[in-house]
Each structure stands twice: as C-alpha cells, then as structure tokens.
Amino acid sequence: MIQSITRFCKATFASVVLAVNTVVGFTLMIPFVIAKLLLPFTFVRKICDTGLRTIAETWIGVNCFWMNTVGRTRWHVSGHDQFPYQGWYLVSSNHQSWVDILVLQWVFNRRIPLLKFFIKHELIYVPIIGLCWWALDFPFMKRRGGASAQKDLETARKACEKFRVIPTSVISFMEGTRFTKGKHAQQKSPYQNLLKAKTGGVCMALETMGDMFNCLVDVTIVYPHGIPTFTDLLTGNLEEVVVKVREVPIPKSVLLNEKGEPASRQVVQAWVDEMWTAKDREITEIKASFSRQ
C-alpha cells in the first residue's frame, strides 16, 4: 500500500513538472518561431536556432531533474565525454522503448549539440510538442513507400541542409521502430537483440552533410532488468541503465564512390551491418555480465 502511494506521488510530481516544463518551453519558443516564419534570412535563422536550442536544452535539463528526483537509477555510462560540443555528429542507437529518448537526452544534453530525430509524420499533430519539433527542424517522415518514400527522402535532404547552419547532432534509430520479440520473429532478424537496420535516413544525412560530420557516435542502450515503459520512468521504477558510447570514424567509402558520386545504399548498408553485428554481440555480453551478478 505504502509503495503504491509512493509511486503515485512520484508519478504525479514527475507528470506535473513535465507538463509545466513543456508549456513554459513552448511559450518561450513562440517569438522565435514567428521570427523564423516572417524573416527567412540566414542571420535571423542563426539567432532563432540558438535561442530555440537553448530553450530545448533547458527543457531537457528540467526533465533530467525530475528523473533524478523520482528515481534512484543506477547509471552505467561510458565514452560520452570525449566529444567537443561545437561539432556535427551522426548518432546511432538501438531502440527498445520511448524511454530511450530521455536516456539519450540525459546522457548527451549540453555535451554535444541538440539531438535531432527523424520522426514519424503523425507525431507532428501531438499537442504542443509536435510544433516544438517542427520549430527545431526535426524531419518528419511518412515511411509509406512508393512516391511517399521519395518525398520522405526529399524532406530528409531539406532538413539536413538546414542542419549545416549551426552545429547539430542528427540521430537515427536505424531499426525504424522499437524492438519487440514479435517484430524480431516476423523480420527473421539475424541478430539476437536487434531488428534489421534501415539506412534510408542515414544515407540522406551522409549525402547531404557527410563532409561536415566529425564522426558517427555509436550508442548501445541496455536495460538489465527488462525494457521499461514511460510509466516506469515516471514512477521511478527504472532501476539500472547501461549506455555504451563509442566514436566511429566515417569511412570515405560510405560518402563517395570512386567516381566522386554519393556511395550506394548497399555500401552504407554493409558498413552499418558490420556495426550492428558488433552491437548485437556487445548487448549479449552486457546482459550476460549482469545475469552473473
């Protein structure tokens, strides 16, 4: 009974702080959004983007506060302090839960530039937060195939062109969706802990910004006690998180071919598959180390 009341109080506190934080952040963004719409000049965009980024990083900082307050999470994080803040990064991570996003923000906030996600188009209609994502130039993807797929690629290209203006971290959950045992079986994935990697968005990022990226930031997230839900996070029921970060140089071969043209998707896919094999092995080793404890 006492435990249930405690979890309810934690969830109430976290939810209120999250809601107020989001509304305040959204309100502060409005002047910058209006300026971006009415004054489409590069110098204005730089000022607005800096202001919007500062608001977003503060929003993330407040989220980290309530996460630390309601939870007693044991964080095992390594390799995240080696990157200069003023840089351009292509970030890749495995994906298991909505909690992944807040974990990544907890790890990287103000360490590298604000993470920009490829987001499903339907999420633009989420009240308040959808407009915030739009204002921050998050690329919205429909992922329906055919003609729509071509439009998605054009959307990604335009978004990545905007990212050239100020230091940016472009992140891709290459699995395209959250990992579940059902999806894993349906795909007949060759990996034990991962779905097959999709490289459409990454190819666009490399084609548009490949010469600017300092490196690829490869992230592996493991929840030793089971994949958490967002409710687990709100109630402080996230016991332990392992986050392994490593710097991966981006080979010239995945940027340009011998003719000086953008590398084929097959070349990029082979590069990613090699990383995915190593990541799958790393996840297995991490899980095994905790099972022995």
Q: What is the pLDDT of residues 151-204, one digit of tens each?
A: 666 666 776 777 777 888 999 899 988 999 999 999 999 999 999 999 887 888
Q: What is the pLDDT of residue 143?
A: 57
Residue 156 belongs to domain with CATH number: 3.40.1130
Would you say residue 62 lies in a domain? no
Reference 220, options 269, 149, 275; nearest CA is 275
pLDDT at position 92 is 95
Q: Quick one: pLDDT at residue 29?
A: 94
Give the closest residue to 171 by CA, choosing from 187, 159, 189: 159
Residue 180 tokens read as 């579940």
Chain centre to alpha carbon of residue 111: 14
Query: Quick check: is 232 in a domain?
Result: yes
Task: Write out the residue range of the structural domain in which residue 258 sits.
Answer: 73-291
The dihedral over CA atoms of 210, 152, 48, 173, expressed in degrees to the nearest 10, equals: -60
Give the predicted TM-score (pTM) of the model: 0.90
Is 21 within the bounds of a domain?
A: no
**pLDDT for the residue 260:** 79
Under 8 Å CB-to-CB from 16, ≥6 apart: which residues? none
Q: Is residue 155 one of the residues assigned to a domain? A: yes
pLDDT of 164: 77
Any domain includes 90: yes
H or E segment and range at residue 148: helix 146-162
Which residue has 């959950």 as its token pair? 173
Shortest CA distance to 135 belongs to which of 247, 33, 216, 40? 33
Can you give the pLDDT at residue 145? 53
CA distance 157 to 113: 19
Q: At what angle do helices 265-291 and 200-209 cross, to 10 degrees?
A: 120
**pLDDT (0 to 100) of residue 65:** 97
Res 152: pLDDT: 63
pLDDT tens, position by position, 69-93? 999 899 999 999 999 999 999 999 9
Low-confidence ranges of the chain (pLDDT < 70): 142-156, 159, 292-293
- 11 is a domain residue: no
Residue 29 falls inside a structural domain: no
Is there a domain that residue 57 lies in? no
Q: What is the 3-state secondary structure (H, E, C) of 39-80?
A: CCCHHHHHHHHHHHHHHHHHHHHHHHHHHHHHCCCEEEEECC
Q: Which residues pair with 172 in a beta bridge?
A: 92
Model pLDDT, residue 142 = 66
- Counting the structural domains of the chain, the total is 1
Name the region of 190 (left: φ>0; alpha: ψ -120 to 50; beta: rest): alpha
Q: Give the single-character DSSP code of 225.
A: T
Residue 151 has a pLDDT of: 67
